[in-house]
Amino acid sequence: MIEVKHLVKTYGDKHAVADISFKANDGEILGFLGPNGAGKSTTMNILTGYLSSTSGEASINGHDILEDPIAAKKEIGYLPEFPPLYLDMTVREYLYFVYELKGCRLPRNTHLKEICELVKIDNVFDRRINNLSKGYKQRVGLAQALVGNPNVLILDEPTVGLDPKQIIEIRTLIKKLGKNHTVILSSHILSEVQAVCDRIVVINQGRIVADDTADNLSRELTADHKLIARIDGPKDEVIKLVQTIPGVVSIVADMQREKGVWEYNIEAVEGTDIRRELNRRLMSRNWYILGLRSSELSLEDIFLKLTMGESVTEFLADKADDLEEHYKEESK
């Protein structure tokens, strides 16, 4: 378990990390999401004891990283942003060194062989690290973190520089590891944390702006009463018709997608479902719905908005205002 309380790190008068608190439970994969320079790496460096915090506490499985650094570090496998590799060593020499450095007691050859098979570097075991591709170097870095089978894995952007196939492999691997390790991984790619993590902590400018499960995060921002419909029919008449549906607040023609087919943003009173009524009325005029979806915000939207310093509620209010304004302009 990783526990972080009111962590602050300042460089001069710049706050790299400003009061971060979170908790990662055993067997949980926690995603650290934020733009570059948000403080992800700094937080991870503090957690692993590479940097010290200006104030606040961080503990790994009950061992405070400042009070009892050796015990805390024993619990951690860390893959920094740049894999810390000795380029003039072979993978074998390097992993043997890490094995000794960590004072590992597991049977060396079988343990390292398992790790190499897990991260698929057994075929380059005797090659110099300098001659390996970026993808392999990254995986050697990951192998290094796994040596000694630590309970907690801290991975700083583990998939950077890998090709799509390798990314999927590493993600699968992390998911697998997450079953019996506590994993914190950072990324600035949403789809990645969404695919791998149980919980997401969004961090921006050294502060946590959201901390929830991936599903909750998007559910919170879903708007079921707002629809985006692609309708085949004369634009003005469609608008008039839809406005007569009880509960509809506004309809705005967004843009023509195909010839004679427009996409409309329809907003109804919150909590009302107008999809069936919409269908029926359009059918009676022989106009067709070619596409219908609720205007759910993608995590991308959420992320961009959150990291621009707005809270979720502010953002939703903004979105509603935008729509209203848009509608006013349209009606003029």
Partner 1 sequence: MTAILKRETRAYFDSLIGYIFLTAFFAGSGILFSVSSLQFGSTDMSGMYSGLFYILLVLIPILTMRTLSEEKRQKTDQLLLTAPVSIPSLVLGKFFAAMLIYSIGVCMTLVYAVVVSFYGVVSWLTVLGNVVGLLLLGAAYVAVGMLISSLTENQVIAAIGGFACMLALFLISAIASIIPVPWIANILTNLSFGERYSPFTYGVFDFSNVLFFVSATVIFLFLTIRVIERRRWS
Q: Which residues bind partner 1 (CB under 8 A)?
A: 11, 45, 48-52, 70-71, 73-74, 76, 78, 80, 82, 84-89, 93, 97-98, 100-103, 144
β-pair type (182-187, 199-204) = unpaired
CB of 138 to partner 1, least distance (A): 13
**Nearest Cα to 290, choosing from 238, 222, 236, 224?**
238
> Among positive and negative, which fits the CA dihedral 270, 276, 277, 281?
positive
DSSP structural state of residue 295: -
Contacts of residue 294, Cβ cutoff 8 Å, sequence gap at least 6: 222, 223, 224, 226, 227, 228
CB of 174 to partner 1, least distance (A): 19
- Closer to partner 1 at the Cβ: 82 or 288? 82
- Closer to partner 1 at the Cβ: 54 or 295? 54
CB of 84 to partner 1, least distance (A): 4
- Closer to partner 1 at the Cβ: 27 or 49? 49
Burial letters 174-184, b for 16+ CB under 10 A, else e: beebbeebbbb
- Closer to partner 1 at the Cβ: 52 or 180? 52
Report the alpha-carbon distance of residue 242 to residue 49 in Å, rounded: 61
CB of 22 to partner 1, least distance (A): 20
CB of 34 to partner 1, least distance (A): 20
- Closer to partner 1 at the Cβ: 93 or 220? 93
Provide the 10 A C-beta neighbour count for residue 260. Answer: 12
